[in-house]
């Protein structure tokens, strides 16, 4: 017989897996709520055009896309950013500012599979719309940090690398490059960590070899790891634009320091982010040991809402992926084990006793207790074993003898003590047990 398997890179969630996933989502939701973000959702299938040119070549090449029965070119969403821009853009004038939104959703990219990378994965996305200044970045980097710290991770486990595409533009402009060349250099910088010198091949194919002096300056800039070093390199260039931008940097780093978060954040001009729409500050979170791929990534994208047909609306946001994040929690022993235990297990004799038990089971479940019982008649001894193996705190015993006496036996599965209660008082007695 043919056995059907999941498509490569797709995941199934058995109950224990889903418990772990739910645990992650629960804490992300709680944290986003504490930061005043509101949750939204959107379709999984979108018009292909939403991603064409807007997300960038890399994501475009990874789309799961097809033509639907109505002849529309469609794609499974590879990311949330264009979608949330459409949502916000359509109602921008009616929404209270700043707009602070988050979502937890599944995404699809036809990627080469590796540790922490699949073809379907979840992301927690958080974005702020309508705030042009670095106050939005402060809020978002704080939220990102808290989303990881809520699980017990510390600055010894992860850090956020902070960079700035604006500064890269100003710097490369000052070195005499035009916009097309600047974009190609940034493409090389994005890949430099992984590919080394080969990262400049695409630039060379398009524009010829990057002149050695310029390349040295690019390599010097991408190695900058502090604000003073950045200020020193930019000082000879000068100008108002640059001075204002360095002011934004001081505000951002000062705000994060005042929140006590400076230990999580490192200036690192080597990060530029591959996605096409970023316009200003960009950041990525990584595990400290450098063993895993990125935990999260984000940045400012002030032009995208307008490019997608909405009003001019500044925006900044990030996404955390669930796969590398779960790996990190497991590596650090911070992923709890989940047991699905009932509160109460009912041990039941024959058919008549079953009917008596059913009334109580229904009433107790309506009160919110997790109640389980054997679906079919099973020997008493076996039922007692199931009851104690189940992790339940109480067993309710419905035997023929008890039924005849108009009582139910209640056994505390912790200390193994037993008592008898009148049938009519089962619910009240159980409530008393669980509230004292
Ligand atoms: P991204 O860097 O493409 O950014 O993805 C963010 C995170 O999603 C990554 O750091 C990674 O944890 C996870 N991720 C991405 N691709 C995969 C994959 N194939 N398998 C497993 N995990 C993956 C964005 O998607 C931007 N839209 C984020 C953003 C929100 N920017 C502004 N707002």
Regarding the beta carbon of 103 and ligand 1, being less than 6 Å apart is answered no
pLDDT range class, residue 2, cuts 50, 70, 90: low
Confirm or reject: Cβ of 145 under 6 Å from ligand 1: no
Task: Ligand 1, residue 297: give the atom nearest the CA.
Answer: 2
- Cα(123) to centroid(ligand 1), Å: 7
Tell me the helix, strand and coil percentages in the chain, rounded to 5: 45, 20, 35
Domain boundaries, position 372: 344-435
Nearest CA to ligand 1 atom 17: 117
pLDDT digits (tens, 9 = 90+) for 359-387: 999 999 999 999 999 999 999 999 999 99
Task: Among 283, 298, 331, identify where a domain stops.
Answer: 331
Domain limit, last residue, from 272, 306, 331: 331
> Is the residue at 10 inside a domain?
no
The set of residues, in sequence order, having a beta carbon less than 8 Å from that of 286 and lying 6+ positions away, is 158, 159, 161, 292, 294, 295
* Residue 2, domain member (yes or no): no
Residue 99 forms part of a structural domain: yes
**Is the domain of 162 the same as that of 193?**
yes
Atom of ligand 1 nearest to the CA of 125: 30
Kindly report the CATH number assigned to the domain that includes residue 142: 3.30.930.10
The answer to whether residues 65 and 135 belong to one domain is: yes
Closest C-alpha to ligand 1, atom 14: 321
User: Do the strands 120-129 and 99-108 form a parallel or antiparallel pair, or are they unpaired?
Assistant: antiparallel
349 and 294 together in one domain: no
Q: Are residues 271 and 365 in the same domain?
A: no
Does 339 fall in a domain?
Answer: no
Mean of pLDDT values over 266-279:
92
- C-alpha 272 – ligand 1 centre gap (Å): 14
- Which atom belonging to ligand 1 lies closest to the Cα atom of 284? 10
**Residue 122 alpha carbon to ligand 1 centre in Å:** 9
- pLDDT tens figures, 174-205: 999 999 999 999 999 999 999 999 999 999 99
Judgement on whether residues 426 and 302 belong to the same structural domain of the protein:
no
Overall domain count for the chain: 2
Ligand 1, pocket-test mutation among 9, 24, 119, 123, most atoms within 8 A of CB: 123
Looking at ligand 1, which residue's alpha carbon is closest to its atom 29?
A: 318
Domain boundary among 331, 352, 386: 331
Query: Residue 54: pLDDT above 80?
Result: no
Could you give the percent of the chain with pLDDT greater than 70?
Answer: 100
Domain identity same for 81 and 208: yes
Domain shared by 320 and 420, yes or no: no
Res 53 pLDDT > 80: no
Ligand 1 pocket member 51 (CB < 6 A): no
- Banded model confidence at residue 276, pLDDT cuts 50, 70, 90: confident
Q: Which residues pair with 113 in a beta bridge?
A: none
Q: Does the beta carbon of 327 sit less than 6 angstroms from any atom of ligand 1? A: no
Q: Is residue 279 part of a domain?
A: yes
Place of tokens 């007692």: 384
Give the DSSP H or E segment for 138.
helix 135-149
Give the DSSP letter string of 152-198.
T--TTTEEEEEEEHHHHHHHHHHTT--HHHHHHHHHHHHHHHHHGGG
Measure the CA–CA gap between 243 and 231, rounded to whole angstroms.
9
Task: Check pocket membership of 83 for ligand 1, CB cut-off 6 A.
Answer: no
Q: Let me know whether 258 and 381 are in one domain.
A: no
**Which CATH number is 391's domain given?**
3.40.50.800
Mean pLDDT of the 210-222 span: 95
280 lines ligand 1 (CB under 6 A): no
Whether residue 32 contacts residue 126, with contact meaning beta carbons closer than 8 Å, is answered with yes
237 and 370 share one domain:
no
Question: Which letter, b or e, does each residue of 54-75 get, where b requires 16 or more Cβ atoms within 10 Å of its Cβ?
Answer: bbbebbbebbbbeeeeeeeebb
User: What's the pLDDT tens digit per position in 122-163?
Assistant: 999 999 999 999 999 999 999 999 999 999 999 999 999 999
């Amino acid at each position: 017989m043919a056995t059907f398997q999941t498509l490569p890179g797709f995941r199934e969630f058995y109950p224990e897996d889903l418990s772990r996933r739910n645990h992650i989502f629960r804490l992300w939701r709680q944290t986003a709520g504490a930061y005043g973000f509101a949750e939204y959702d959107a379709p999984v299938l979108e018009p292909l055009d939403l991603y064409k040119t807007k997300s960038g070549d890399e994501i475009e090449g990874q789309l799961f896309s097809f033509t639907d029965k109505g002849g529309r070119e469609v794609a499974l969403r590879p990311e949330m950013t264009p979608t949330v821009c459409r949502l916000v853009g359509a109602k921008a004038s009616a929404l209270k500012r700043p707009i602070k939104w988050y979502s937890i959703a599944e995404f699809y990219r036809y990627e080469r599979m590796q540790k922490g990378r699949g073809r379907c994965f979840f992301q927690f996305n958080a974005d702020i719309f309508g705030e042009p200044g670095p106050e939005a970045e402060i809020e978002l980097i704080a939220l990102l940090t808290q989303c990881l710290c809520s699980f017990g991770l510390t600055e010894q486990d992860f850090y956020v690398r902070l960079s700035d595409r604006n500064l890269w533009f100003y710097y490369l402009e000052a070195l005499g490059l035009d916009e097309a060349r600047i974009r190609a250099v940034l493409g090389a910088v994005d890949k430099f960590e992984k590919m080394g010198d080969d990262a400049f091949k695409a630039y060379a194919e398009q524009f010829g070899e990057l002149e050695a002096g310029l390349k040295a300056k690019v390599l010097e800039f991408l190695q900058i790891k502090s604000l003073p070093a950045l200020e020193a390199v930019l000082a000879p260039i000068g100008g108002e634009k640059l001075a204002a931008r360095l002011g934004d940097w001081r505000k951002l780093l000062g705000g994060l320091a005042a929140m006590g978060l400076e230990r999580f954040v490192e200036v690192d001009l080597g990060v530029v982010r591959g996605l096409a729409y970023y316009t200003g500050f960009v950041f990525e979170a990584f595990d400290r040991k450098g063993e895993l791929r990125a935990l999260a990534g984000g940045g400012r994208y002030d032009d995208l809402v307008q490019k997608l047909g909405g009003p001019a609306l500044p925006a900044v946001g990030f996404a955390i992926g669930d796969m590398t994040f779960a790996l990190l929690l497991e590596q650090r022993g911070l992923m709890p084990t989940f047991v699905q235990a009932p509160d109460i297990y009912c041990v039941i004799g024959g058919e008549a006793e079953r009917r008596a038990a059913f009334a109580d089971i229904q009433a107790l479940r309506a009160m919110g207790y997790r109640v389980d019982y054997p679906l079919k008649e099973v020997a008493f001894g076996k039922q007692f074993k199931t009851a104690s193996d189940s992790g339940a705190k109480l067993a309710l015993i419905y035997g023929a003898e008890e039924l005849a006496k108009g009582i139910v036996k209640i056994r505390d599965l912790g200390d193994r003590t037993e008592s008898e209660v009148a049938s009519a008082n089962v619910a009240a007695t159980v409530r008393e047990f669980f509230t004292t």
